[in-house]
Amino acid sequence: MTPQVLDVREMSISYGSRVPALLAVSGVSFSVESGQCLGVVGESGSGKSTTGLAIQGLLTRDPSVSATGSLTIAGTELNPVVERGWEGIRGRTVTTVFQDPMSSLDPTMTIGRMLTFVAGSKAESLRWLDEVEIRDPAAVFRSYPHQLSGGMRQRVMIALALARRPALLVADEPTTALDVSVQAQILKLLRREQEALGCGIVFVTHDLGVAKAMCDEVVVMRNGCIVERGTSARVFGAPESEYARRLMESRLTMATDRHRPVGLPEATVVNAMVESLNEGRAETATTTVDAVTAEWNARSLLWSDFAPADVGEVSVPPGASPGAAPIAALEFTAVTKSYPTGGGIARLKTVLSEVSLRVEKRESVALVGESGSGKSTILRIAAGLESASGGSVQRSDVDADAVQVIFQDAGASLTPWLTVEQLLTERVRNSKRGGKVSAKDAARLVGLAMDRVSLDRALLTSKPSQLSGGQRQRVAIARAIVIPPTILLCDEPTSALDVSIASTVLNLLNLLRHALGISVLFVTHDLAAARVISDRILVISEGQIIESVPAENVSSTVSSDYARRLLDAVLS
């Protein structure tokens, strides 16, 4: 009989000393055997992260947290909120690979020093670095965390976690910030090492594609409860609960219909779409997701149905011949970018080499590549946050605020001490495109922007810290389009979001770009998201654009080995 390394029985966890306390986890039960990988999936607020923290013994220092039920790890019964007993378990019997290795690794210590402390010797440390497929273990042994790429740091975290030869490994969103090819490598590495050591794994993630590829069994959590559990094949192939079914339908794949909303968008979003198409006259009062989705399908609506009737013709340069190419919203011509490497100006590292691209008016272009490929550098140059070392960058609209950016981490891009209303009003007041705007007109524009991104106007008085991740991203979108820009630059805006929230954000971006006639440059490592949001996909590798393909049939038209590897790595 395979030994059980984790047994959770009727565990409930509450936060806060007030009555009633916030019940984050309610009566969850599950177990993990040696050699088994159990996925814990769910949306933000589902309780999956609190469950993961409890299993790691990381809730013991907060006196406001209380727990009931039982938690047993490798035969030792523990209280998830009491420190006693965890000293010999945490970091030894149970170890962790966190989402952000940079915040977990000591920046003042070399990798070798940290790993030797765990592995016991330099020789064993080098063996582990080789085991996790680091190409130059000796060089990495001497390096500090900031000198390594994200993928390399995550490999070091895995080596640190496994060098203890734990009975249980908790992987807490370990691939969220990684591009698809590195992600696939990390998952393959975890699986191989698990088989070698025979440890159990609890894999906490919001990425359903990763869970499907990695886990033997899956538990689906919602509002602190487990709503479904079963084998990965059964849960993803034939989910029994309504919630799990909706979650699976929101998952992006390379077969997702890119002309319609992704999955089953929330009722408020679809109602906003229907009202927009019918000049504000809602023809249905239904609010359930099923009813609204049926309404959408009955109309057979496509994104193109939202294109405004008065967008006008695309212009050509003044004085140009009738057959001349139209003015692009954004155009790069032979753009190069180099950075000093620390050895003086004579020593430069080239990150962009002769990059040429066009984003036409009202066109959406996705820029896809691995970490370090140069895609984010292109976006920063397009936004005016950096200058090109060579070549030229031209825009059809030279106003400073004609270009707006939506960043991956909306929380970090929103001023924390301003309310939502102040954030949006500031954008209106500072915009040269809208002219001088009265307080009344500014309030009207702010309210319209909130409606367009389906946010309740009651949230105007909230600050970013009081909003969920999905709400913060919608506020970032509202700020960008409150005065519609010519081009919208999106830097991985959905990579850290839950599947249903990510789908909602993609739906909003698609609706807004068609309805407002905005051009979009969408930077991502997710080919499935790129296919849904864009008209064309540009593939970038080592600072050069190596391929341009239509988004509609990207799976069958990519030709380079590099692009094919990116496609093959898409886990969905």
| Residue 507 pLDDT exceeds 50 | yes
For residues 234 and 1, the model is more confident at 234
Which DSSP category does 464 fall into? G
338-353 per-position pLDDT tens digit:
887 655 555 777 889 9
Token digits for 278? 């019918």
State residue 289's pLDDT score: 41
Token digits for 8? 């959770």
Token digits for 119? 């592995």
Question: Residues near 210 by Cβ (< 8 Å), separated by ≥ 6?
Answer: 175, 183, 187, 203, 571
CA dist list (Å): 452 to 106, 144, 307, 516: 44, 46, 15, 11
| Residue 512 pLDDT exceeds 90 | no
Cβ atoms < 10 Å from Cβ of 341: 11
Q: Give the pLDDT band (50/70/90) at residue 69.
A: very high
State residue 554's pLDDT score: 82
Residue reference for tokens 């959905």: 494
The values of phi and psi at residue 534, to 5°, are: -115, 165
Mean pLDDT in residue range 392-419: 82
Closest alpha carbon to 37 in 6, 79, 71: 6
Mean pLDDT in residue range 14-21: 71
Which DSSP category does 453 fall into? T
% of the chain beyond a pLDDT of 90: 23
Residue reference for tokens 């009651």: 458
Query: How would you class 19 by CB atoms within 10 Å of its CB: exposed for 0-12, middle for 13-18, buried for 19 or more?
Result: exposed
Q: How far apart are CA 396 and CA 426, in angstroms?
A: 25
| Residue 158 pLDDT exceeds 80 | yes
Q: Which range has highest mean pLDDT (161-175, 293-307, 436-450)?
A: 161-175
Pairing of strands 168-172, 94-97: parallel
Cβ atoms < 10 Å from Cβ of 178: 22
Mean pLDDT in residue range 83-92: 89
Q: How far apart are CA 142 and CA 123, in angstroms?
A: 13
Q: Yes or no: say if 38 and 218 are a contact pair by the CB < 8 Å rule.
A: yes
- Report all structural domains of the chain as residue ranges with CATH numbers, in order of start: 4-249 (3.40.50.300), 416-482 (no CATH)
Token digits for 191? 């699986």
Q: How far apart are CA 197 and CA 167, in angstroms?
A: 8
Q: Give the pLDDT band (50/70/90) at residue 433.
A: low
Q: Give the pLDDT band (50/70/90) at residue 27.
A: very high
Mean pLDDT in residue range 435-449: 84
**pTM for the full model?**
0.72
93-129 per-position pLDDT tens digit:
999 988 777 778 899 999 999 999 999 999 999 999 9
- 492, 495, 498, 504 alpha-carbon torsion, rounded to 10°: 30
